[in-house]
Amino acid sequence: MDFNLTTEQKLIQKATRDFAEKEIAPVVLEMEKGAPLPDNVIEKMAKAKLLGMLAPRKYGGTDTGYLAYIMANEQFSYVITACSFVMVVCNSIAEAINRFGTEEQKEKYVRGICEGKLMGSLSFTEPSTGSDPKALATTAVLAGDHWVINGTKRFNTLGAYNGPALVFAREGDSVHCIIVDKNCEGWSSSKPWDFMGYRGTPTVDSFLKDVRVPIGNLLLEKGKGFEILLKIISGARISSCARSLGLGQAALDESIKYAKQRTRRGSPIASMMSIQGMIAEMASRLEAARWLTYRTAFLREKGGDVLLESAMTKIFVTRTAKELADMGIQIHGAYGFTKDFKIERIYRAAKEGEIVEGSSEIQRTIVASMLLA
C-alpha cells in the first residue's frame, strides 16, 4: 500500500471538512435536541456528490474510490455523526444495487439516490433478531407476478424517507433481498427512536403489511440475500470505523484545547506530566486506528473480500474511539460531565461504534471462526 494520499483524496478530505464546518456545525445543537438533519443539508450533500461516491458516473455518481469515501466519512463524523449515517446508508444501497441489480433497477434507484431524491435503507434487523439471518421472521410469498411481504424491521435508518429499502425476507429456508419502495401501500413506520448518541438521523421501526412488490424487484437471485448482506456489512463496518476516527480526532483536539486553556496554580494543565501522558496516548492510539482503517478501505477498493479484515478493524478501532473519549472526559474533569463541552457529546456518540453493524462480540465470533475454520 502507498501510504501517501493522492491529491484528489486530500482535496476530498478538506472539502468534506469545510462542508461539515459550514453546513452542519451550525445545526448540531438542534440535532442533539432531537431535530433531524435538515432537508436542505441533504440536498447540499447531493449537490456536492457525497451521496454517490461509490456509484458510477453513468448513474450520477462519482466512483471516487472506497478510501476517499471513508476519509470523507471521517471528516463528517468529526462534527456530528448524523451526516455520516445519511452518507453511508445512501452510498451502501446505491453500491449494492449497482453491483447486484439489473439495468432497470440501477436506472430507477441509483441515480435517484445520487441526486438526493431518494433515501435508501438497509432493512434487515428485526425485533427478535440482530445479526442472525436464520432468525428472520419477515416473509416474502410469491403470488403471481408479485412478492407479498409481511414483517417488522427494527432500527431502520431513514426508514420513513421515500426511496428504496433493501428488505431481507424469508421464503421457506431461503433468504431473499427485495427492493421495496418505502411508504408504498402497506408500509408504515413508528416514531423515531430516541438514542443516547446517533443524533440527527431518524431511525424507525418499519411495518410491512401485505406489501406487494413486482417480482422484478428481487435483487440478484432467489436465496442470495445473505450473500448480498455480507458484502454490504463488510463495507459498513469500515464506515463505522471511519465514524470512530472522526470522533477520536475530535476527542483529542478538544482535550488539547481544554488542557491549554484550563489553569492550575497559574499554569495550564497541559504542563502536567499526567495530562501530557494521556494526550500522547490518545494520539498514538488514534494514529494506529486510522492506518488500520485506511488499510482495510484500501484492500476493499482493490477488490478484496475484507470480511475478516473489516471485523478485526472494527473490534480495535471502535474500542479505541471509546477509550479516547473516556480519556478526554478525564482531562476535562467535572466539566467533561456537563453538556457545555463538546467532549460529553463525543463520549455518548463513541459508544455506538461497538454496537451497530454487528456488536464487538459478533465481530470476535466472526474473526475466531474464520481463523479456526
Give me 279's grid cell. 494526550
Q: What is the mean pLDDT of the chain?
A: 93
Q: Is a pLDDT exceeding 70 seen at residue 131?
A: no
Cα distances (Å, whole numbers) of residue 196 to 33, 59, 199, 373 = 11, 37, 8, 37
Q: pLDDT confidence of 34, banded at 50, 70, 90?
A: confident
Q: Closest Cα partner for 115 from 71, 181, 57?
A: 57
User: Hey, what CATH class is 7-114 in?
Assistant: mainly alpha
Q: pTM here?
A: 0.93
pLDDT mean over 216-226: 94
Q: Is a pLDDT exceeding 90 seen at residue 196?
A: no
What is the CATH T-level fold of the domain 226-372, as seen in this structure?
Butyryl-CoA Dehydrogenase, subunit A; domain 3 (1.20.140)
Cell numbers 444501497 label which residue? 93
Can you tell me the distance from the alpha carbon of 355 to that of 314, in angstroms, rounded to the nearest whole number? 10
Q: Indicate the domain borders of the chain.
A: 7-114, 121-223, 226-372
On the question of a common fold for 7-114 and 226-372, the answer reads: no
Q: pLDDT confidence of 2, banded at 50, 70, 90?
A: low
What CATH number has the domain spanning 121-223? 2.40.110.10
Q: Is a pLDDT exceeding 70 seen at residue 57?
A: yes
Q: pLDDT confidence of 162, banded at 50, 70, 90?
A: very high
pLDDT mean over 14-41: 90
Which pLDDT does position 123 carry in this prediction? 96
Q: Is a pLDDT exceeding 90 seen at residue 357?
A: no
Which pLDDT does position 331 carry in this prediction? 97
Catalytic residue list: 357
Which pLDDT does position 1 carry in this prediction? 61
Which pLDDT does position 128 carry in this prediction? 85
